[in-house]
Amino acid sequence: MEQNHGRGTADTAPDGSEGPARRPAGRLRRGTLALLVAAAVAVPLAGAARPQAPAPPPAQVPPPAVAGLDATYAAHRANAAEAARTAAEHGYRDRAAVERALAARTLLHFDGRGAGRVTEVLGELDHAGRVAVLVPGSDTGIDTYDRFRATALALHRRLTREAPAGTRTAVVAWLGYETPGTFSPSVATTGRAEEAAPGLRDLVRDLRSVAAPRARVSLLCHSYGSVVCARAAAGLDVDDLVFLGSPGTGSGTAAGLRTRARVWAARGADDWVEHVPHLGAGLFGTTVGFGADPVSEEFGARVFTAGDGGHGDYYAPGSPSLANLTRIVLGDTQAVTS
């Protein structure tokens, strides 16, 4: 399997040996990590004092079950509608418009407070035989939700076209945590991921209770979302764990994730995340930086073709990445290109 690990002559001498050319690269990486550490300590969280649109608390409903799915969806739709009215009354027109749109969708969970949390279902979740869970990266909230939803829609449409006759599919867009800002210090640490991991485990357990008994469940984790998935991975009942445009997972190897799932990784040729230093350091009970590159041979994931796209192009219609993601979710792993 041919892999481009984003290294090149910065790490090696012209003859391929680890000669003097390696030392400047090492100093650059260590210097960059030092800046990340300093930022995590000294820079205030971006947007910490930003005013938030008011919203009611989320609907209180029992854990999802096949018999009660319609009632679960209805309760969260009603809560989104109430949040839209509240936001409009307080002058948050843009937020109100997004929440009104959400109130017409299939919501497994909704919480309009703060940046907001949404779990939306596309397709037929009850008795589904193939379920994909999308986990987003930084700068994703209710106000930017439609950008995240577009990726779920692209996958859902392709699954619908290519699923074998009689196979139910569902895509779950899980904005179930407070994502870090791209330019905030929290994006360089595992803190938000550690907070998010229990919620992701709960979601997978709930999905198992309503999907088909032996459903194939795949986690598709983009950017910082790959850190979240890695933190939740140990013992998680999923079949595939996919890292897209990942800055690292916090683990040195795929085996270190302690998951029974197949571990996949991909990076587009024009994805800026290739230039993120793959280092990590402990700091005040959290980790700054995320360690090994998931598309490196040393990490040990199954690396697949993502094409020439950038950081936001993994679900682009017609892309090699979307084609391979569809094959992984459907279980046609022999057709995945590498």
- pLDDT tens column, 43-97: 333 333 345 889 999 999 998 887 789 999 999 999 999 999 999 999 999 999 9
The answer, yes or no, to whether residue 29 has pLDDT greater than 70, is: no
- Mean per-residue pLDDT of the chain: 85
Measure the N-to-C terminal CA separation of the chain; round to a whole number of Å.
Answer: 6
Give the whole-angstrom CA distance, residue 337 versus residue 156: 20
What is the reported pLDDT for 278? 76
What sign for the dihedral angle of Cα 148, 218, 232, 244?
negative
The answer, yes or no, to whether residue 37 has pLDDT greater than 70, is: no
What is the reported pLDDT for 30? 44
Give the whole-angstrom CA distance, residue 204 versus residue 196: 13
The answer, yes or no, to whether residue 287 has pLDDT greater than 80, is: no
Helix, strand, or coil (residue 121): strand
The one-letter code for the residue type at 28 is: L
Question: What single DSSP character describes residue 181?
Answer: P
What is the reported pLDDT for 14? 33
The answer, yes or no, to whether residue 289 has pLDDT greater than 60, is: yes
What sign for the dihedral angle of Cα 331, 214, 155, 252?
negative
Q: Which tens digits make up the pLDDT trace of 200-224?
A: 999 999 999 999 999 999 999 999 9
For the chain, give the percent of residues with pLDDT over 90: 73
Query: What is the mean predicted confidence (pLDDT) over 109-121?
Result: 97
Element (DSSP H or E) covering residue 34: helix 22-42
81 CB burial (10 A radius; 0-12, 13-18, 19+): middle
What sign for the dihedral angle of Cα 29, 245, 147, 111?
negative
Q: Which tens digits make up the pLDDT trace of 147-171?
A: 999 999 999 999 999 999 999 999 9
What is the reported pLDDT for 183? 73
The answer, yes or no, to whether residue 185 has pLDDT greater than 90, is: no
Count the Cβ atoms, other than its own, within 10 Å of residue 301.
25
- 210 and 64 Cβ atoms separated by less than 8 Å: yes
Token pair 């577009």: residue? 150
What is the reported pLDDT for 276? 84
What is the reported pLDDT for 190? 79
The phi, psi pair for 170, rounded to 5°, reads -145, 145
Query: Predicted confidence band at 189 (pLDDT cuts at 50, 70, 90)?
Result: confident
Give the whole-angstrom CA distance, residue 197 versus residue 54: 26
Q: Which tens digits make up the pLDDT trace of 244-269?
A: 999 999 899 999 999 999 999 999 99
23 CB burial (10 A radius; 0-12, 13-18, 19+): exposed
283 CB burial (10 A radius; 0-12, 13-18, 19+): middle
The one-letter code for the residue type at 235 is: G
What is the reported pLDDT for 257? 97
Give the whole-angstrom CA distance, residue 187 versus residue 164: 39
Strand 286-288 and strand 240-244: the pairing is unpaired
The answer, yes or no, to whether residue 233 has pLDDT greater than 80, is: yes
What sign for the dihedral angle of Cα 123, 108, 141, 130?
negative
The phi, psi pair for 66, rounded to 5°, reads -55, -45
CA distances from 211 to 99, 131, 164, 169 (A): 27, 8, 17, 9
In sequence order, what E strands does the chain have? 107-111, 117-123, 130-135, 169-175, 216-222, 240-244, 262-266, 281-283, 286-288, 302-303
